[in-house]
Amino acid sequence: MDIPKGRNTANVGIGIQGSKSGNVRAITLLQNYLKNYLPEAKIIEMVVGGVPACGQIKQTISDGLMLVGDAARQSDPLTGAG
């Protein structure tokens, strides 16, 4: 996905599901994308990380404990938004 940020910059990102991507790494797919579609582009910053996309867990509270956010698996599995 490309999100333009100005005349010469854009956020370019990719999300893959580790359990289904085999031996293909996200960085390789992203580099291939840049090579094919934005060959002049230079990477000026990288942000990487994992998003839990396994669906909700059954219980997020217990005595003296409440899970929220990623710990409670509350991120959107389609967009990765948390």
Ligand X SMILES: Cc1cc2nc3c(=O)[nH]c(=O)nc-3n(C[C@H](O)[C@H](O)[C@H](O)COP(=O)(O)OP(=O)(O)OC[C@H]3O[C@@H](n4cnc5c(N)ncnc54)[C@H](O)[C@@H]3O)c2cc1C
Q: Which residue among 51, 53, 60, 77 contacts ligand X (CB under 6 A)?
A: 51
Q: Which residue among 12, 33, 73, 80 contacts ligand X (CB under 6 A)?
A: 80
DSSP result, the chain: -EEE-SSS-EEE-----GGGSTT--HHHHHHHHHHHH-TT-------------S---S--EETTEE--GGGGT-S-TTT---
14/24 with CB nearer ligand X: 14
* Per CB under 6 A, 70 contacts ligand X: yes
* Per CB under 6 A, 69 contacts ligand X: yes
39/78 with CB nearer ligand X: 78
41/67 with CB nearer ligand X: 67
Q: What angle do CA 57, 14, 48 make, to 5 degrees?
A: 70
Residue with tokens 């710990």: 71
Chain residues in the site for ligand X (CB under 6 A) = 47-49, 51, 69-71, 75, 80-82
